[in-house]
Amino acid sequence: MNIDWNAFTPLSALAGGLLIGLASAWLILMNGRIAGISGILGGLLNNERGHRGWQFAFILGLLAGPAIWGIFHALPAIEIRASYPALIAAGLLVGIGTRYAAGCTSGHGVCGLSRLSPRSLAATMTFMFGGFATVYVVRHLLGA
């Protein structure tokens, strides 16, 4: 293993993680809901009565973040190197996969691991494996 120390940003990563934990803590304690983004977006698409309001508001908060951040500070870099076809394939896989698994990085990764759920641990290990394997194939076998 070869660590890229120049790219390593421990302080901002940790501080950002604390904020993500705070947002999840807020939603479960104030609203009684799990901050699982694929679940909230999927729920919104299912148009569930009585849930539309808070689900829409949460997604709106995610979308509004960069604009509000931008009032006070320059936005951090967002570098997207994937081609449009790759982004479309990735989006389809992420959409279908997270709904079958009933959770993504937030629902299983953050909330599930915080609840010490074995089911979420299995999901997290599986999607991490999928991510590591895919990047290995794309970058080191195909050389893209």
Residue for token pair 């982004």: 87
What is the footprint of another protein within residues 27-46 (CB under 8 A)? 27-35, 37-38, 41-42, 45-46
Distance of closest approach, residue 49 Cβ to another protein, in angstroms: 14
Torsion angle (degrees, nearest 10) of CA 104, 109, 115, 121: 100
Binding of another protein by 74 (CB under 8 A) = no
- Residue 28 C-alpha from the chain's centroid: 17
Give the nearest distance from C-beta 61 to another protein in angstroms: 2
Answer yes or no whether residue 48 interacts with another protein by CB under 8 A.
no
Q: Give the CB-side neighbour count of residue 131, counting CA atoms within 13 A.
A: 9
Does 60 participate in binding another protein (rule CB under 8 A)? yes
Binding to another protein, residues 96-135 (CB under 8 A): 96-102, 104-106, 108-119, 122-124, 126-135
Contact pick of 71, 79, 142, 143 for another protein (by CB under 8 A): 79
Question: Applying CB under 8 A, which of residues 49, 71, 80, 143 lies at the interface with another protein?
Answer: 80
CA–CA separation, 46 and 38 (whole Å): 12
Backbone angles phi, psi at 11, to 5 degrees: -70, -50
